[in-house]
Structure formats: structure tokens, C-alpha cells
Amino acid sequence: MKMVIAVIRPEKLECVKKALEEKGFVGMTVTEVKGRGEQKGIKLQFRGREVEVDLLQKTKIEVVVSDKDVDEVIETIATSARTGKFGDGRIFVVPVEKSIKIRTGEEII
Amino acid sequence: MNSGDVAWILVSTALVMLMIPGVGFFYAGMVRRKNAVNMIALSFVSLIIVSILWILYGYSLAFGSDIMGFTGSLNYAMLNGIGIEDLKGLEIPHMLFVIYQMMFAAVTVAILTSAIAERVKLSAFILFSVLWVTFVYAPFAHWLWGGGWLAKLGAVDFAGGMVVHISSGFAALALALVVGRRTGFEEYSIEPHNIPMTLLGAALLWFGWFGFNGGSALAANGLAANAIVVTNTSAAVAGLVWMIIGWTRGKPGSLGIVSGAIAGLAAITPAAGFVDVKGAVIIGLVAGVICYAAMDFRIKKRIDESLDAWAVHGIGGLWGSIAVGLLANPKINGYAGLVFGGSQLITSQLIAAISTLVYAFAVSLIIAKIVDATVGLRVDPQEEYVGLDISQHEEVAYT
């Protein structure tokens, strides 16, 4: 079992949600975050003066899936969140030891 | 001088002033969080720019001595010759009339910021405002209130259905067409970021509108009372219409409810001093339906007149201006509409509404193109992406 964490453009959230749902991945946790990548945010030029927008608004999606589905989820998120420009975000995969459903106490290992 | 009249118009001036940031809050809630500061700031900038222009020459162009029915002269530039003596035919000081009218001009400019939401440079907006007040607003105020050609024709506009609402609504449409759509418009959803803020703005607008329409009686009298009653009635009816439409389509969203009320307020504005409460119900009812239809039409045509100044103010003001010619009750203010056997008023109202509509759209389009060609209207794509709060003000709404 793995957790796929994607940090994406906020405006791409609906697109990604829809794409995942079409593939049968419904459950997710979404958080509004701020972050920066290798470009250190965005530099705006004002008549010779530079304004650095260091941390940009992003959206983080967390999806827990079985090992066999990881590649499909990564592919789905990457395709639906991509614009081809700097700032499209990143995807991380981390191992998950347990998943417990609170209502029933059911445990998935 | 009548101290009651003076007190009421002083209060009305303050009420209308509060509508200006009210427009800012109303609009700011509907944009994304990265543009909230800019949207509110634009309304303050409207107030600042118009306040200065009005003193310099704006008031004079609107209310100075008539030049060929089209504009006032510069005899009142820098408020030359205007003192605290009574304005002719009224019992309030001339100076008070100047600032009361100034607030009308400023709120009109604030309304048209709907068209530039989330994508236009502050500097471009300032330049546009200066040109627009000079070539659109001031002439309209002169045409209808300053003894210009439409007033001579017999057209009436109690509190600005044409001068304020047709002008700002159709200017917004022209401006939106020149500016173009926001990046991502229809590609991904651009959601209102703070609906309570919009509701707060609507509250300030509704509250201020009592001074806007009630104050337009220019006296503390029965006409002012009638204006406030019909204003409130039309707002409530149109708000109810949007609520019902919302319900039939799903849920009655608060954004729709207050937008409907604003449509009712815009529509009753030209008529508030001429119609009775029955007329107000009809005006509110029709305004609710046609302004909603106009909004639907705009969305269908994929025009990004972002915050619906055209659908709500433009179309509302257009209907209300025509409605005066239909529903004016002679018992209120001596003018008779078609329903009360008067056949003349509808003709002059139609001519006035159509002329102001065409002029506002055409001249605003030209001004927008001039501004675009000189300083450029739009921010660059990266600035638009980051948001105007940071790119135009180096501030953020929410840390």
C-alpha cells in the first residue's frame, strides 16, 4: 500500500479529481498549501525592479492505493495536471503501513 | 435654506460614499483570493480619482452652463463661483450638491471595474477612469441632469438609471470585449473566494441605495420617502425572483439572491421618484427575470464581463429607464406613463435609453482601445497567474 502525494496547480484540481474518478480512484485528501520548486517561485519585473514571489499557492492531493495501482495513479495525475510550464508541481510516493476505517475499525494492511 | 433638507442630503452623501467600498467588497468576494485586495482597492481608487476630477472640471462639465446641449462649460472649474448659498430652486447649498453628485460619479466608475477583474493594470484603469469620466459620465450627467439635450427632450432619470447604470453596465461590456477573457476562463472553474464578503458588500449597497435614490429628491420630503419605499420593494421582489430561479435550477445561492436584489435596485433607480409601490413590484419582477436572462446570455456567448455589471446594472438600468415611461404615476411627481394615459414620456425615455446605451458602449470601446494602445490594459500572464494583489500592490489578502 502506498500514499501518492501530488502537489499541483490549484486550477488543475477539478481536472485531476475527475480523471482519478474516471479511473475508479475516488478517495482523496486535499489541502491548500504554499510552496516553491527549483525556480524559487516567480520573479516579476517592474521597470528594473525585481519582485520575488517566493511561495506560490498550490494544492496537495493525497491518495492511498494498493501497490499495483500506483503507476496508474501517477500517470493519471501527471497527465491531467500537466500544462508544460514551470510550476506544474511534483508527485511523491511514500509507503503506508496500515489503513484503518474509523466507522468499522476495519484494517487494511 | 432648509435645515432638514441639508441634513438629509449630507447623510445621503455619506450613504452613497459607503456604496463605493460596498461595490469593492461585493466584487472582491466573487474573485479569487489572489485578487481580493486589488478589487477593493479599485473602488477606493475610483473614489480618489473621481473626487479630484470632479473638483477640477468634472462637475463643471456636468452642471456648468450648457454648450449645445452636449456638455457643460468650464465656468465651475475648480468650483469657481460655487459657495454655500442655496442652489437655484432648492433649499440646499450648492456646495453640498457638488459632493453629493461627486459620489454618484465615483460609484459609477467603481461599478465598471467588474469588467477588468483579475487581469488589468492599475495604471491602465486610472487612465481609463479619467477619460471615461470626461467623455462618458460627465456628458451623461449633463444630458439628463444639467439641462442637456435629453432633459430638453423631456427625458427623466431620477437617480441615475441612465447616467449611472446604463453607462457603467454598457461600458463594462465594451471594456470586457477589449480586455479579453481571464486566463483559464471556461477552462477551469474560477470560484468566488469569499461569499460572506460579497454579502457584506451587497448589504452596504442596499443600505447606501436609500441615500442614492432617497437623496435624489434633493429634499427631506414625501418624494424621498416614496423613493425609499419603492427602492426597497423593487430590491426585495427582484431578489425573490432570483431566489426562485435559483431554486428551480437547484439551490437558491446567496450570491444569486443578492445579485437579484442589486438588479432590482438598479432598475428602480431611474423610476424611484415617479412610480408608486405597484409600479415598483412590476419593475422588480421584470428586472429579476431579464437581468437573470442577460447573465445567462453573457455566459452562453462566453463573454467574460466577469462580475456582471452589464447584466445587472446595464440591463436593469435600461429596463427601469423605459419602465418610467410606462409606469410613472402622476400622483407621485406629476409625470404620467403609458399606464396612466401619458403618451409622451415613453418616447423620450426610449430615445434617452437607446442614445445613452449606444454612446456609452461606443465611446467606452474607443477609450479602452486608446488605453490599450498606449499603456496596455492587461498585466502580463505571469502577473495574472500570481494575482493582482502581489503584482499590483505587493500585498496579500490572507497571510
Report the residue from B184, B382, B391 with minimal CB separation from A11.
B184
> What number is the average pLDDT over the span B264-286?
98
pLDDT digits (tens, 9 = 90+) for B134-191: 999 999 999 999 999 999 999 999 999 999 999 999 999 999 999 999 999 988 888 9
Amino acid at B386: V
Which pLDDT score is estimated for A56? 87
Residues of B in contact with A53 (CB under 8 A): 386, 390
pLDDT digits (tens, 9 = 90+) for B57-98: 999 999 999 999 999 999 999 999 999 999 999 999 999 999
Torsion of CA B195, B199, B204, B210, to 10 degrees: 150
User: Angle at Cα B253 formed by Cα B108 and Cα A33, nearest 5°?
Assistant: 90
B28, B197 Cβ separation under 8 angstroms = yes
Q: Does B398 reach chain A within 8 Å, measured CB to CB?
A: no
> What number is the average pLDDT over the span B372-398?
94
Q: Does B396 reach chain A within 8 Å, measured CB to CB?
A: no
Contact at CB, B188 and A57, closer than 8 angstroms:
no
Q: What is the pTM of this model?
A: 0.94
Which pLDDT score is estimated for A47? 56
**Confidence bin at A45 (pLDDT 50/70/90):** low
Report the residue from B34, B383, B391 with minimal CB separation from A57.
B34
Contact at CB, B386 and A42, closer than 8 angstroms:
yes
The C-alpha cell at B229 is: 419605499
Distance from CA of B381 to the nearest CA of A (A): 11
Q: Which residue has the cell 474573485?
A: B31
Distance from CA of A11 to the nearest CA of B (A): 6
As a whole number of Å, the CA-based R_g of chain B is: 20
How far apart, in Å, are the Cα atoms of B259 and each of B149, B153, B166?
33, 33, 17
**Confidence bin at A52 (pLDDT 50/70/90):** confident
* Residue in A30, A40, A44 to test binding to B, most B beta-carbons within 10 Å: A44
Which pLDDT score is estimated for B334? 97
Percentage, residues of chain B above pLDDT 90: 97
Q: Which residue has the cell 446605451?
A: B357
> What number is the average pLDDT over the span B355-364?
98
Which pLDDT score is estimated for B187? 87
The C-alpha cell at B248 is: 428551480
Contact at CB, B394 and A14, closer than 8 angstroms:
no
Q: Does B381 reach chain A within 8 Å, measured CB to CB?
A: no
Residues of B in contact with A44 (CB under 8 A): 382-383, 386, 390-391
As a whole number of Å, the CA-based R_g of chain A is: 17
The gap from C-alpha B394 to its chain's centroid, in whole angstroms, comes to 29
Which of B58, B27, B79 is CA-nearest to residue B255?
Answer: B27
Q: Considering only alpha carbons, which residue of chain B is nearest residue A56?
A: B386
Contact at CB, B390 and A51, closer than 8 angstroms:
yes
pLDDT digits (tens, 9 = 90+) for B311-351: 999 999 999 999 999 999 999 999 999 999 999 999 999 99
Contact at CB, A53 and B188, closer than 8 angstroms:
no
The C-alpha cell at B337 is: 406613463
What does the alpha-carbon distance between residue B114 and residue B27 come to, in Å, rounded to a whole number? 7
Return mean pLDDT, chain A. Answer: 91
Residues of B in contact with A12 (CB under 8 A): 188
Which pLDDT score is estimated for A92? 98
Contact at CB, A44 and B382, closer than 8 angstroms:
yes
Residues of A in contact with B391 (CB under 8 A): 44, 51
Percentage, residues of chain A above pLDDT 90: 74
Report the residue from B189, B385, B394 with minimal CB separation from A14.
B189
Is residue B364 exposed (0-12), middle (13-18) or buried (19+ Cβ within 10 Å)?
buried
Return mean pLDDT, chain B. Answer: 97
* Residue in A17, A42, A43 to test binding to B, most B beta-carbons within 10 Å: A42
Which pLDDT score is estimated for A90? 96
Contact at CB, B382 and A57, closer than 8 angstroms:
no
B87, B289 Cβ separation under 8 angstroms = no
pLDDT digits (tens, 9 = 90+) for B2-19: 999 999 999 999 999 999
Percentage, residues of chain A above pLDDT 70: 92
Which pLDDT score is estimated for B157? 98
- Contact map slice: B 152-191 vs A, CB within 8 A: 184, 187-189
Which pLDDT score is estimated for A49? 65
Q: Does B378 reach chain A within 8 Å, measured CB to CB?
A: no
Q: Does B313 reach chain A within 8 Å, measured CB to CB?
A: no
Helix, strand, coil abundance in chain A, percent, nearest 5: 25, 40, 35
